[in-house]
Amino acid sequence: MPDDPLQKFATTYTPGSVVFREGDAGDDMYIIQRGKVRVSKEFSGKQHVIAVLEKGEFFGEMAIVSRMLRTATVTAIDQVDVLAFDRDGLLAMITRNPRIGLSIIDRLCRRLQAAHRKVQHLVQRDRAGLIALHLQQLFQELPRGSASLPLGATLDDASLAFELPLEEVRAVVERFAADGILAFGADRVDLADASRLAALTGSGETPRREPSGGS
């Protein structure tokens, strides 16, 4: 709407475009209005997906809170509409609507909890939990209308991400399939039970998937 006061903060990113890269300077945070973004971080020379964010979520907040360099790379998965705020713009918006500030605090707490779970899996060498987290993020990243991941590429990606032997990753994924959590097709893997996959991650939150025909 032309008279929408937030319209001046709006911007759009096309699929595959990079919003910002790890190590960049920046002073804006972004609130997603439509679409999904992939958040990735480099470890040992490899890019690893650490989160997939969608409508209503935000990223880049550390540039406003502490003015530090970007700590991850953010890439548009599909067409993404965002509101981009600098420090003054965000403060003005929160002043007009304090609920926005509370929402940001709530989501930051959730992210800290998710990061804590991942650290727990790493410390305990909980391979099943790590692979479940990885699969959950990959399923969240699928575009609307897609329900399958390529089996070979998925196994290779998890093996590289966690520096685990490929056969060990395959054994865990096959166990998930035997338990009815995943289903195998012709060189593909489908999500059969989102709730049980979420339980393995320790989050209890199912991957949010959009209906195949909706927007």
pLDDT in tens, 73-117: 999 999 999 999 888 888 887 888 788 778 777 877 776 776 666
Instruction: Select the CATH number that applies to the domain covering 7-120 from these four: 1.20.1260.10, 3.30.365.10, 2.60.120.10, 1.10.287.130.
Output: 2.60.120.10
Please name the fold of domain 125-201.
Arc Repressor Mutant, subunit A (1.10.10)
Maximal C-alpha separation, the chain: 58
Instruction: Report the C-alpha gap between 39 and 72 in whole angstroms.
Output: 6
The more confidently predicted of residues 32 and 144 is 32
Span 182-198, pLDDT tens digits: 999 888 999 999 899 98
Domain assignments of the chain as residue spans, ordered by start: 7-120, 125-201
How high is the pLDDT of residue 169?
92
| Torsion over CA: 41, 47, 50, 53 (sign) | positive
pLDDT at 207 over 60: no
Q: Determine contact, residues 61/108, Cβ cutoff 8 Å.
A: yes
Torsion of CA 117, 118, 122, 124, to 10 degrees: 20
Name the residue among 97, 75, 71, 76 with its Cα closest to residue 85.
Answer: 97
Strand partners of residue 59: 30
pTM: 0.57
Strand partners of residue 53: 37
